[in-house]
Amino acid sequence: MLDLFICKFTIKINRYRKMANIINLNDFLNNRKEYKNEIEETLNILDEFQLHLFTSAINLAVADKWKDWSDKMPNGSTFNFEDSMLFDTGDQNVTRIMELRDSVINLMRQLENIQD
């Protein structure tokens, strides 16, 4: 087991007081691993959530603003939806869901940067 000695300096009423803390390096490394694991788990949940939001936006669009188009599409046909299309439906609910999805994706990018 490795122990790491770290000194901290604190100011108290214009006086410097030296304090020492002993930190178990193994605990620190385990905590760091747990921290990274928690971020990875959060990223996975956020990724599932952003996919759910995308699917919800499509479902709302084809149930209302794109209903005529959807009804004309043959069963079993495939179509690639893009973000820009969903932002341009004219349905405020779809737009809000897509804005939330963008926020979730931006948060994921920020968390990925913290993880490194």
Q: Three-state SS across 11-28?
A: EECCEEEEEEEEEEHHHH
pLDDT of residue 80: 93
Q: What is the pLDDT of residue 17?
A: 52
Give the pLDDT of residue 74.
Answer: 92
The residue type of 97 is I
The number of folded domains in the chain is: 1
Between residues 17 and 113, which one has the greater pLDDT?
Answer: 113
In angstroms, the CA 66 to CA 103 distance is 25
Domain assignment of residue 94, yes or no: yes
Evaluate whether residue 10 is within a structural domain.
Answer: no
21 within some domain: no
- Residues 98/85, Cβ–Cβ less than 8 Å: no
At 33 the pLDDT is 84
* Residue 24 pLDDT exceeds 60: yes
Q: Residue 55 domain-assigned? A: yes
Q: What is the domain range of residue 101?
A: 33-115
- Residue 92 is assigned to a structural domain of this protein: yes
Neighbours of 24 (CB within 10 A): 13
pTM > 0.75: no
Domain membership of residue 3 (yes or no) is no
Tell me what pLDDT residue 4 has: 41
Is residue 15 domain-resident? no
- Pick from 26, 19, 86: which is nearest to 54 by CA? 86
Residue 11 lies in a domain: no
